[in-house]
Amino acid sequence: MKPFASTLDSTLESVDAGEESVRRFAAQAGFDESARYFVGLAVREILVNAVRHGNRFDPGKKVEFRLSADDTKLIVEVADQGAGFDIESVPDPRLEENLARSSGRGLMMAKGLMDEFLVECSARGTYVRMAKNLP
């Protein structure tokens, strides 16, 4: 399959477009409707984090979004231009003291839905690489 790359604006409309792109890409890779839904959900959560928490909806900052596939998996890469963060400091949303928090579930959800999940943070932004094994 031909890789897909896009530079997204820091808007929720761009998140919608990214989610739709990964669903189409996953269909071409052979994923069924259920799997496409969950891959799309994982990507949506990471794109929302990039736009909201990373770039803080700054119109001057962009999100790099790439999709590719090899013989065994679909690969998603997302990079924002935010200040980065300490992933170890993200509260566990499953703990009782965090259940009422309105955010903090996206990383855990995406990690649980995908087969591979990597986050690299720096002062230049956050890079996320996720992969889902092909059916």
Bigger pLDDT: 101 or 47?
47
pLDDT digits (tens, 9 = 90+) for 68-80: 999 999 999 999 9
pLDDT digits (tens, 9 = 90+) for 30-58: 999 999 999 999 999 999 999 999 999 99
Measured between alpha carbons, how far is 82 from 58 in angstroms, rounded to an integer? Answer: 9
The pTM assigned to this predicted structure is 0.91
Multiple choice CATH, 4-133, 3.40.50.2300, 3.30.565.10, 3.10.129.10, 3.90.1300.10: 3.30.565.10
Domain ranges of the chain: 4-133
Which range (13-22, 31-40, 62-71, 95-104) has the least confidence?
95-104
pLDDT at 106: 83
Measured between alpha carbons, how far is 23 from 39 in angstroms, rounded to an integer? Answer: 7
Cα–Cα distances in Å, from 61 out to 52, 55, 102? 11, 6, 24
